[in-house]
Copies of this chain bind each other. A is one copy, B any other.
Amino acid sequence: TTKFSGIQRFSSDASKVTCKGNGLQNAFRNKQSTFTVDTTGAGNNILYIGMMGPKGPCEELTVKHEGTNRYSVNYIVKEIGTYMLIVRWGDQDIPGSPFSVECQ
C-alpha cells in the first residue's frame, strides 16, 4: 500500500531458508534455547516465529537481526513436553517447520 511505499516489495521463496541450532530440537525449562536462521537466496520478506506447548505459548521469544539475511532466535519455555515451533518466511513455512521441540 502507499502507506509503506518506502518498503521493498515482498518477493520470496521460503524453501531457500535454512536454520540450525539445538533450539530446533531440545529445550530445558527456564533456560534460554537458541537457533539461527539464514534467509540468503530466499528473497525479501518478514520472518515470523511462533511456539506453542501443551499448556500454552512459550514464555518469551526474541528475534534479533544479526546482519544481512541472518537472524538469531532465543526463547524460554516453562513447561515439560513437546512444543510446536513454527518458522515462517512471510506466509510460508520454511523447510522442517513446524519443528517438534522436546522440553525437559
A58 contacts B by Cβ under 8 Å: yes
List B contacts of A62 (CB < 8 A): 60-63
Which residues of B lie under 8 Å from residue A3 when comparing CB positions? 82, 100
Contact between A46 and B56, CB atoms less than 8 A apart? no
CB interface residues, A 57-104, toward B, < 8 Å:
57-65, 71, 81-82, 84, 86, 88, 91, 98, 100
Q: Count of chain A residues with Cβ under 8 Å from any Cβ of B?
A: 32
28 contacts between A and B (CB under 8 A): A3-B82, A3-B100, A4-B82, A4-B100, A6-B81, A7-B52, A7-B82, A7-B84, A46-B50, A46-B51, A46-B52, A46-B57, A48-B48, A48-B49, A48-B88, A56-B65, A57-B65, A57-B71, A58-B65, A60-B62, A60-B63, A60-B64, A60-B65, A61-B62, A61-B63, A62-B62, A62-B63, A91-B91
